[in-house]
Chains A and B, each alone.
Chain A
Amino acid sequence: GQQLNQSPQSMFIQEGEDVSMNCTSSSIFNTWLWYKQDPGEGPVLLIALYKAGELTSNGRLTAQFGTTRKDSFLNISASIPSDVGIYFCAGQSLGGATNKLIFGTGTLLAVQP
């Protein structure tokens, strides 16, 4: 089945540092999404990307949809303690009745004040 490889697996950084994580796939996706999951909660959408090459920002977050449609990255600038959590990329192939998401393996982010 489709697999999304996400790296790094975990990051331990100081408050104020910038963070970068990426996701690669062997399959093409029409849409890339980035979610954040806090402990004991469901994933919350951060950024959605709909076109190859698209670069989108949401506050301190910036994400790009790779031109091959097989990869995406997420950057967080000037990290703060509340950025702590697990970040998942997800790919979506449109068409049909499903449009299910395939999730990446996750990046655990720890921010030390």
Chain B
Amino acid sequence: EPEVTQTPSHQVTQMGQEVILRCVPISNHLYFYWYRQILGQKVEFLVSFYNNEISEKSEIFDDQFSVERPDGSNFTLKIRSTKLEDSAMYFCASRTRGELFFGEGSRLTVL
């Protein structure tokens, strides 16, 4: 069964460092998303991406965040200068017209 894959599964970084989280969406999907879940809290929308551009972003997705689809398969989330409060699980998701499929997440720990 096709699935969304994310790497790394866990990343530990120092505050102020740049982090890139990678996602390989399901191959025929057209819409891509990043969501965030702080430990013990709900899943929050960060950004959606369609037709090679951001279609919507939340207030969480400030200038420190960026997304890219550098080739036909990867979808990346970059955090330019990490803060302690960026520690969370980051979920990538993709869909065509229907169900949204989530990856297993990348846990980011900022020290």
| A96 CB contact (under 8 Å) in B55, B91, B100, B104 | B55
Is B50 touching A97 in the complex (CB atoms < 8 A)? yes
Mark contacts of A78-104 with chain B using CB atoms, 8 A cut-off: 1 yes-contact digit, 0 otherwise. Answer: 000000000010100000111111111
| B31 on interface, CB distance cutoff 8 Å | yes
CB interface residues, B 3-32, toward A, < 8 Å = 4, 31
- A42-B50 CB under 8 A given contacts A97-B56, A100-B45, A103-B43: no
A96 and B1 CA atoms in complex are apart in Å by 29
Bound form: Cα–Cα A37–B41 in Å: 12
Is B33 in contact with chain A by the CB < 8 A criterion? yes
B interface, size bucket: 20 to 34
Residues A97 and B45 in contact in the complex (CB < 8 Å), given A42-B104, A43-B91: no
Write the nearest CB–CB distance from B104 to chain A, whole angstroms: 5
B47 to chain A, nearest CB (A): 9
Chain A residues with CB under 8 Å of B105's CB are 40-42
Is A43 touching B102 in the complex (CB atoms < 8 A)?
A: yes
Taken residue by residue from 23 to 53, chain A's Cβ proximity to chain B (1 for < 8 Å, 0 otherwise) reads as 0000000000000010011111100100000
- B59–chain A nearest beta-carbon distance, Å: 8
Q: Quick one: which of B42, B55, B59 contacts A98, CB cutoff 8 A? A: B55
Q: How far is the CA of A107 from the CA of B93 in the complex (A)?
A: 22
- Which residues of chain B have a CB within 8 Å of any CB of chain A? 4, 31, 33, 35, 41-45, 48, 50-51, 55-56, 58-59, 91, 93, 95, 99-100, 102-105, 107
Q: List 16 A-B contacts (CB under 8 A).
A: A37-B43, A40-B107, A41-B104, A41-B105, A42-B102, A42-B103, A42-B105, A48-B99, A88-B43, A97-B48, A98-B50, A99-B48, A101-B35, A101-B43, A101-B45, A102-B45
